[in-house]
Amino acid sequence: MSSIWTNGGLSLSLFGESHGPAVGAVLDGLPPGREIDLNALNRLMLRRAPGRSTLSTPRTEADIPEILSGLYNGKTTGAPLALIIRNTDTRSGDYAEFTNKPRPSHADYTGAIRYRGVNDPRGGGHFSGRLTAPLTAAGGICLQILSQQGIEIASHLYAVGHVTDRPFGKEDDFQAIRHNLEELGLPVINPLVAAQMKQEIEGARRTQDSVGGIIECRVDGVPAGIGSPIFGGVENVLSSILFGIPAVKGVDFGIGFEGATLYGSQHNDPFTVENGRVKTKTNHAGGINGGITNGMPLVFRAVFRPTPSISSPQQTVNLTTMQEEMLEIKGRHDPCILPRASVVVEAAAAIAILSMLGEAL
């Protein structure tokens, strides 16, 4: 039951394997009567789709979701919205040997133990990053619903390897990101870092290596009073879905880990009044106090480990002989997952936020 996420009446069920017939999602609990623009959804999917540039894997997939239910006359009906995305460009031969010689830091080894050797190993099977395609499609629908009520979500590449963007901080950061994504091909705030990030990624690709990084995400327009104390906190809910994105190994909110060295007098966000509304002067808390939104933008970060699929030789263990052996992974892989992952983070956040608004059925 590990592939179902549920909160506040909204649930997301993901299914599929990388090289099976299709991947898909069921979103159950969507509020009825919301208009969904399928063309806009398909455009959003392009941000995640592979094969768009040398920055990503050469595998190409149209990634156009087919909606099977829950939409009628262009609107959500309140019934479960199911969508599937057919797998087309699969070459399963690439993956045969990994069952016996697991790739380091992949799920080949752990998956085989968990599922007693019967899981579908082709392309990582159900562990594949390909599962983020239906996640993105489901989240894209939530993004549209949120946008209709004034909630906008954007993320940027906060860090790629050693290259760092500046953190969120200005009103027009969202425009900058959108502009840079279109013009420079990367979602960053500071346009000057785009070229350096590409260089970092290109360098990893050339050396048959990979590089990780950090995605920072902001959610504008969430009213104060959303979320709950203890286990129903915005942090709990968001992290429970964000760790569902393969390669995410850490999540923090507001100033997060960087706040460990601050004193309370520095970290606390003083209240102020702006245009007759309660605000805070700083936003070190990332818009969340006691698990509940305070009306400031939600800010959080997710760290992505470098993708473990690298072509340079690595040490593994032959599970039959129990001898150490060297392994060279061929296949088609992303040297850096972050350019494609930013839309996935936004999509996951949208599902989580929508689930907390109390409108799910």
CA distance 253 to 140: 22
Question: DSSP string of 54-109?
Answer: TTS-S------PEE-SSEETTEE-SS-EEEEEE--S--GGGGGGGGTSPPTTSSHH
Q: Is 243 in the site for its own copies (CB under 8 A)?
A: yes
CA distance 336 to 17: 22
Shortest Cβ distance from residue 100 to its own copies (Å)?
12
- Segment interacting with its own copies, rule: CB under 8 A, options 143-151, 172-180, 190-198, 273-281: 273-281
Triad 202, 200, 246: Cα angle to 5°:
90
Which ranges of 101-131 would DSSP assign to H, the alpha helix? 108-114
Comparing CB distances to its own copies, the nearer of 124 and 174 is 124
Do residues 256 and 158 touch, judged by C-beta distance below 8 A? Answer: no
Q: Which residue among 36, 211, 222, 353 contacts its own copies (CB under 8 A)?
A: 211
Q: What are phi and psi of 76, to 5 degrees?
A: -65, 145
Question: Binders of its own copies among 74-103, rule CB under 8 A?
Answer: 75-82, 84, 102
Q: Is 275 in the site for its own copies (CB under 8 A)?
A: no
CA distance 86 to 99: 25
- Segment interacting with its own copies, rule: CB under 8 A, options 41-49, 166-174, 183-191, 239-247: 239-247
314-318 and 323-327 beta bridge pairing: antiparallel
Q: Which residue among 187, 213, 297, 339 contacts its own copies (CB under 8 A)?
A: 213
Q: Is 17 in the site for its own copies (CB under 8 A)?
A: yes
Cα-to-chain-centroid distance, residue 57: 17
Comparing CB distances to its own copies, the nearer of 118 and 182 is 118
Quote the DSSP letter at residue 38: H
Comparing CB distances to its own copies, the nearer of 10 and 177 is 10
Q: Is 246 in the site for its own copies (CB under 8 A)?
A: yes
- Segment interacting with its own copies, rule: CB under 8 A, options 53-61, 137-145, 191-199, 221-229: 221-229
Shortest Cβ distance from residue 262 to its own copies (Å)?
6
CA distance 335 to 54: 9
Comparing CB distances to its own copies, the nearer of 45 and 82 is 82
Shortest Cβ distance from residue 170 to its own copies (Å)?
22
Do residues 165 and 155 touch, judged by C-beta distance below 8 A? Answer: no
Q: Applying CB under 8 A, what is the total number of residues that bind its own copies?
A: 148
Q: Is 144 in the site for its own copies (CB under 8 A)?
A: no
CA distance 327 to 345: 32
Question: Binders of its own copies among 283-322, rule CB under 8 A?
Answer: 284-286, 288-294, 301, 303-310, 312, 314-317, 319, 322
- From residue 316 to residue 345, the character string flagging contacts with its own copies as x (rule: CB under 8 A) and all else as - is xx-x--xxx---------------------
